[in-house]
Amino acid sequence: MKMDSPSPHNALDDNFQGLVGKPIDRIEGPLKVCGLAPYAYEVDEFEQPLYGWIVDSRIALGTLRDIDTSAAEKAPGVVHVMTHRNAPKQAPWGESGRDRFARARPQLHDDQVHACGQPVAFVVAQTLEQARAAAHLIRVDYAPRNGAYDMARHLADAVTPAEGDSGPADSAVGDFAGAFAGAAVRVESRFTTPNQCHAQMEPHAALAMWDGDRVTVHCSAQLLQSARKCLAATLAVPQKNVRIVSRYIGGGFGGKLPIYGDVILAALAARELGRPVKVALTRQQMFHTTTHRSETMQRVRLGASADGRLLAIGHDAIVHGGRRDDFYESAAVQTRTLYAGENRLTTHRRVPLDMPVADSMRAPGEAVGMLALEVAMDELSEVLGLDPIALRLANEPAEDPEKHVPWSTRQFRQCIEEGAKRFGWDERRPTPRATVRGRQWIGIGMAAATRGNLLMPSTCKVRLDGAGVLTAQMAMTDIGTGSYTVLTQVAAEMLGLPIDQVRMQLGDTDFPETAGSGGSFGAASAGSALFDACQNLRDALARKAGVDPGHAVFRAGHVGDGARSFRLAELAGTTGMEARGEIKPGAMEKKTSQQAYGAHFAEVAVDMDTGEVRLLRMLGVFAAGRILNRKTARSQVLGGMIWGVGAALFEAALLDPRHGTYVNHDLSEYHVPAHADIPALEAVFLHEVDPHANPLKIKGVGELGISGAGAAIGNAIYNACGVRLRDFPFTLDKVLAGLDD
């Protein structure tokens, strides 16, 4: 199936069993709460595994002058110590190409250090404790070199990046410079956002075992096919000789799109030793060894007429990246679509640094870009003397303002209006410091939310057996988002089966290939392939029953046409029946502009004496196509909103610019919101189906919740105390400095 035309009316629209949208509990939930869902490090598929421990570099750039492993090699239980001197030959670091996560990533292949946290040795022992103890006996002598770590000091090295995931680095429509200069009202603001690091509950981990010339690796990976290609390329073996298994993942958020040294080193050592080898990164290692979100420096320029009509929209972003990489944070991408305006300019510049690779982190681009754009819109509304909501609604575009194609669906206005009504926006007092409770100023703010919608090629196989049980197989992953659950709901509704008669088998490259989880495309892509497979099986079952497939009704384990009814189990027979399905993006992604939308509303209290900000309440209203499961979807957007609170008030990886290291590389000092920081949040979904997006008529929700959330809090802070902050996060020292001005 290819999305070359809008999806017609289908079985999910009929929803005869009412399973689509139903807030059922997670299918795998009982396994997880009982500790019976094995994550990568807990898999016991292989007997007597050995345990590995990574020794990571303490410098950011330089050469390994010497490495003394003699004491470690003699330590109790040690089986093998690997360094660049004895590591097996691997392919060189690969070019990015079309899939940057599939390139070769050699480990311990030479004496060069490119970033802090890079593995420099690998100890394998009989127990974890023995491997860890021996690792501390290794002595490394470095020859450090001066590197570039602080983006602000190296802006002269900025380059225009090549076209990335979000299209060209720059875009221009009309005469921005002339329109901005001639606008009656102008706002020009500069914003900074910090480095951020993933802190998934489950650390990166791997268990590798070879069977002849084929390796099986259990690991924590969002994109199984990319992981397979990467490992095969690194080891210079055929892809068919690599199997990646990742059935349960304790959080991904983009940090598990690539695979890292844990996977490569486990596979190398397992092949050398002929034994299973497992390894996990420590929490501290995760801050340097894996990817992070780039810091940004952004300039937003808005020019408007006196009545608030946008005439010029400009958004410039400077970001950093690893020197051996070409990814860039597309912070200006949402500015290309969200508001009307005839004269537009967006630019991205990338500063290469000697830092660990920066890459995707939940809602790359929009998560940080909307912090700047939506605060700037609030500033413009103040200068105009116009309500922030009125300003946004006055600049609703009739079509995509840069691509000049129609929206697939757009309920942006409805999200704002519904949110304003529910939150009590009409009670907001526009003058800062107008609402006081004791020694606190109270303020209300809002911001828009938008996130692009994607569809990626995916395939699926389904089989109905003689007991009436449907089994679906896909190399899809569940990163805690509810993939097992929503896919089960789709399959059960399509075939008219009870939930407990569907078996969803995911997380194995031996299954049909899917795009995996990431970019909010997981459910749409894998789910559409599943839909196609189920539709093909429906047609085959109907024909076997002598029922017109176009009028067949599947319900309660039967298929019929109103006059006749047949049990699916009997039709499947003793041999069962199989079908395959696939989805490919098509003309719809070019003929329409596909975005999910929302609006955030926040109320905060700012302490007059300390500058402390406390979130009092928060609401998000979203339109994201058909919602497959209201419970799991709500969980997704609430998680994104909470992450937005962290971006606004807490989260920053603090760089030591002398050494290229993060000084707060653990959860003791890297602050994320705790329960005490988050009141009861509310999330609402508007009814919507999008036939242009995919046959499920859904849009991704995983990253929509974070987009714009932090800006709503920043705008609420200004409404509370009159301090306009532009350097995220908005910690109390920055608030106090503003109060003193």
Residue 399, SS3 per DSSP: coil
Residues 6+ positions from 394 with CB-CB distance below 8 Å: 307, 308, 309, 386
Element (H, E) at 682: strand 681-685
φ, ψ dihedrals at 371, nearest 5°: -60, -40
Quote the pLDDT of residue 308.
98
CA distance 196 to 237: 35
H and E: helices and strands count for the chain: 18, 32
Q: How far is CA 270 from the centre of its chain?
A: 31
CA distance 555 to 15: 10
- Of 41, 500, 1, the closest CA to residue 246 belongs to 41
Token pair 């939940």 is at which residue? 362
- Of 51, 33, 31, 32, the closest CA to residue 41 belongs to 51
CA distance 713 to 171: 29
Q: Is the pLDDT of residue 539 over 90?
A: yes
Residues 6+ positions from 688 with CB-CB distance below 8 Å: 409, 411, 623, 624, 625, 626
CA distance 287 to 325: 18
- Of 398, 380, 374, 371, the closest CA to residue 310 belongs to 380
* Cα–Cα distances in angstroms (integers) from residue 557 to residues 99, 330, 538, 546, in the given order: 42, 48, 12, 17
Residues 6+ positions from 446 with CB-CB distance below 8 Å: 388, 389, 416, 419, 420, 423, 425, 599, 600, 601, 602, 712, 715
Residue 507, SS3 per DSSP: coil
Taking residues 395-420, report their average pLDDT.
98
Residues listed for the chain: 741
Residues 6+ positions from 250 with CB-CB distance below 8 Å: 39, 200, 201, 202, 220, 480
CA distance 240 to 237: 8
Element (H, E) at 447: strand 440-452
Q: Is the pLDDT of residue 97 over 80?
A: no
Taking residues 353-380, report their average pLDDT.
97
Give residue-wise pLDDT tens across range 228-243: 999 999 999 999 999 9
> What confidence tier does 579 reach under pLDDT thresholds 50, 70, 90?
very high
The two three-digit tokens of residue 506, written as one number: 């995911």
Mean pLDDT, rounded, of the chain: 97
> What confidence tier does 165 reach under pLDDT thresholds 50, 70, 90?
confident
Quote the pLDDT of residue 213.
98
CA distance 192 to 295: 7
Beta strands, E only, 40-152: 50-56, 62-68, 78-82, 112-113, 119-125, 139-144
Check if the beta carbon of residue 579 is closer than 8 Å to that of residue 542: no
CA distance 106 to 85: 14
Taking residues 640-654, report their average pLDDT.
98
The DSSP letter of residue 41 is G
SS3 content of the chain, % helix, strand, coil (to 5): 30, 25, 45
Quote the pLDDT of residue 562.
87
Q: Is the pLDDT of residue 365 over 80?
A: yes
Q: By CB neighbour count within 10 A (0-12 exposed, 13-18 middle, 19+ buried), where does 512 fall? A: buried
Check if the beta carbon of residue 644 is closer than 8 Å to that of residue 729: no
Q: Is the pLDDT of residue 651 over 80?
A: yes
CA distance 296 to 17: 48
Give residue-wise pLDDT tens across range 243-265: 999 999 999 999 999 999 999 99
Check if the beta carbon of residue 700 is closer than 8 Å to that of residue 519: yes
- Degrees (nearest 5) of the Cα angle 140, 141, 142? 110
> What confidence tier does 598 reach under pLDDT thresholds 50, 70, 90?
very high
CA distance 386 to 393: 11
Q: Is the pLDDT of residue 164 over 90?
A: no
Taking residues 170-188, report their average pLDDT.
98
Give residue-wise pLDDT tens across range 672-689: 999 999 999 999 999 999
Quote the pLDDT of residue 228.
98
Helices (H), 457-521: 483-495
Cis, peptide link before residue 729, omega less than 30° from 0: yes
Quote the pLDDT of residue 741.
78
Taking residues 580-594, report their average pLDDT.
98
Instruction: Record the pTM.
Output: 0.97
Q: Is the pLDDT of residue 96 over 80?
A: no
Taking residues 697-703, report their average pLDDT.
97
* Cα–Cα distances in angstroms (integers) from residue 438 to residues 400, 605, 607, 737, in the given order: 47, 10, 9, 21
Quote the pLDDT of residue 95.
81
Quote the pLDDT of residue 463.
98
Residues 6+ positions from 443 with CB-CB distance below 8 Å: 432, 435, 603, 604, 606, 716, 717, 718, 719, 720, 721
Q: 144 has which bridge partners?
A: 62
Check if the beta carbon of residue 258 is closer than 8 Å to that of residue 229: no
CA distance 260 to 380: 44
Element (H, E) at 734: helix 732-740
Active site residue 703: yes
Check if the beta carbon of residue 641 is closer than 8 Å to that of residue 598: no
Which residue of the set 329, 374, 379, 703 is catalytic? Answer: 703
Percent of the chain with pLDDT over 70: 100
Residue at 51: amino acid letter: Y
Q: What is the CA radius of gyration of the chain?
A: 27
Give the largest Cα separation in the chain, rounded.
83
- Of 487, 489, 494, the closest CA to residue 527 belongs to 487
Give residue-wise pLDDT tens across range 53-70: 999 999 999 999 999 999
The two three-digit tokens of residue 604, written as one number: 């905060």
- Of 471, 476, 473, 462, the closest CA to residue 514 belongs to 476
> What confidence tier does 36 reach under pLDDT thresholds 50, 70, 90?
very high
